[in-house]
Amino acid sequence: MFAQVLADLNGNYDMMDSGSWNWGWVMMLFWLAVIVIVAVLIARSVGGGSSNSGGHNTDDALEIAKKRLARGEINKKEFDEIRKAIKD
């Protein structure tokens, strides 16, 4: 392969040579990988916060209620009602 690269640099290019086609496939695979990575990153950023898998939203709601109780925005009775509603 090294000899083929040197031959191409010296202008000894054969029209039936497949050396240039190999680089075409490499570039095509590279850009395909870039597109897939960008699509995955966009999908994660757009849909990442809206899933309810693992009960994370329930934990978040309870944490918010705890913070509101600590700040005095709600009283203990309201907090218990919120906690009961979240657990059901």
Most confident of 10-14, 17-21, 51-55, 58-62: 58-62
DSSP of 26-77: HHHHHHHHHHHHHHHHHHHHHHTTS--GGGHHHHHHHHHHHHHHHHTSS-HH
Q: What is the pLDDT of residue 60?
A: 87
- The residue type at 51: S
| Residue 58 in this model has a pLDDT that exceeds 60 | yes
- The residue type at 20: S
Q: Token pair of 40, please?
A: 């995955």
| Residue 76 in this model has a pLDDT that exceeds 70 | yes
Q: Where are the domains of the chain?
A: 1-45, 56-88
Q: What is the pLDDT of residue 10?
A: 59
| Residue 12 in this model has a pLDDT that exceeds 60 | no
- Percentage of the chain modeled with pLDDT above 90: 44
- The residue type at 39: A
